[in-house]
Amino acid sequence: MEELQRIVTRAWETGRAAAASGRVANYIPELGKADPSSVAVAVANLDGSGASAGDVETRFTLQSVSKVASLACVMATGLHDPFERVGVEPSGDAFHSIVRLEEETGRPRNPLINAGAIAVSELLEGPNPSEKIETLRGFLQVATRGADVDGSFALDEAIYHSERDTGYRNRALASYMKHHDVVADPFVAVDTYFRQCSLLADVRSLARFGLFLASGGVDPDSGLRILSAEATRKILALMTTCGLYDEVGRFALQVGIPAKSGVSGAILAIVPGRCAMACFGPALGPKGNSVAGMAMMELLARELELSIFSAGEAGRQLETSGQSA
């Protein structure tokens, strides 16, 4: 077996063992039906190689990972500047925090918390939420070149309805932002957000989606520019500082890769210039992140030496020879 596949399989075994300690999110009732023992992982390299292991056919909703996709989609269109309505500072709060709207302005702290994503999703092109979601799905399909052949990032109707029936906290956030004129129509904003959270992927299509973020905004297969290099860099910076709720610090230390997690148990992680990785495991830890996903990301980062904070070979060479070598 090839070395990468061996490491990915080992990551999956570690993730599977870790999953037993987590609990599936059920505040969106339909999410609670996920199998807590389900675990999958995929790595997609920029050179076209890759590996995957586990329940790779299992589809899950993107939930908060969709925040990266909608932000990229809005920035790619270039018609609106999302940073006119959202900030760029980490919140340090749990994913559903209601307090991180700035009191004076009602502005969300960043685009990767719920309030920020609700504000950004309203900027997707289209006259109503379903058309806006078609814009986003089109973007996902272009960015993956149709990798999600089965469902093309289809909407999971049951999850969407379940969240729509119960998502009063998100509605409160949207209403508060309307009070401060951060959003134009809170009903459109929040419904678009519920829908984008309910889009389906599997680990391979999600990792494939992340490749343009690893390559400075270019689809590695076609050479097509999906997003400007500057916008890509900004999104990766935000993922690094705001992507894992209030566990972002530990993730930076233990893994050290721009990433975004979601309550479905998905994590998308990007190693600039190298690869994109996707993990899935619906059993969550106390901070709302997939326990299997965290364990798998840690192992992959360590074994493949992926942390963006590591000097890697350059440091080792200097240690043995200094500048004179």
Binding site for ligand GLU (CB under 6 A): 63-64, 95-96, 114, 163, 170, 197, 262-263
Smallest distance, Å, CB 169 to ligand GLU? 7
Q: Look up tokens 């700035």; give the residue.
A: 102
Catalytic residue among 8, 66, 67, 234: 67
Nearer Cβ to ligand GLU (3/157)? 157
**Is there a catalytic annotation at residue 263?**
yes
Smallest distance, Å, CB 28 to ligand GLU? 6
Nearer Cβ to ligand GLU (7/263)? 263
Give CA–CA dist 251/98, Å, rounded. 23
Nearer Cβ to ligand GLU (216/262)? 262
Catalytic residue among 263, 264, 271, 291: 263
Nearer Cβ to ligand GLU (46/173)? 173
Catalytic residue among 121, 245, 260, 290: 245
Smallest distance, Å, CB 301 to ligand GLU? 22
CA distances from 296 to 14, 262, 299 (A): 6, 15, 5
Q: In what order do the strands lie in the sheet with 259-261?
A: 50-54, 40-45, 275-280, 266-271, 259-261
Smallest distance, Å, CB 112 to ligand GLU? 9
The answer to whether residues 42 and 171 touch, using CB atoms and an 8 Å cutoff, is no
Grouping H, G, I as helix, E, B as strand and the rest as coil, residue 174 is helix
Neighbours of 126 (CB within 10 A): 14
Q: Look up tokens 């999703």; give the residue.
A: 121
Q: Which two structure tokens, joined as six digits, stand for 298?
A: 């840690």
Nearer Cβ to ligand GLU (46/284)? 284
In terms of C-beta density within 10 A (0-12 exposed, 13-18 middle, 19 or more buried), how is residue 98 classed?
middle
Nearer Cβ to ligand GLU (15/262)? 262
Give CA–CA dist 90/259, Å, rounded. 14
Residue 100 DSSP one-character state: -
Smallest distance, Å, CB 105 to ligand GLU? 22
Give CA–CA dist 324/301, Å, rounded. 31
Go through the chain and tell me how many residues it has. Answer: 325
Strand partners, 155: 199
Alpha-carbon dihedral angle through residues 172, 173, 175, 177, given to the nearest 10 degrees: 160
Catalytic residue among 24, 38, 43, 64: 64
**Is there a catalytic annotation at residue 41?**
no
The answer to whether residues 144 and 137 touch, using CB atoms and an 8 Å cutoff, is no
**Is there a catalytic annotation at residue 176?**
no
Smallest distance, Å, CB 116 to ligand GLU? 11
Strand partners, 269: 259, 277
Nearer Cβ to ligand GLU (216/258)? 258
* Residue number of the CB atom closest to ligand GLU: 64
Smallest distance, Å, CB 243 to ligand GLU? 10
Which residues have a catalytic role annotated?
A: 64, 67, 193, 245, 263
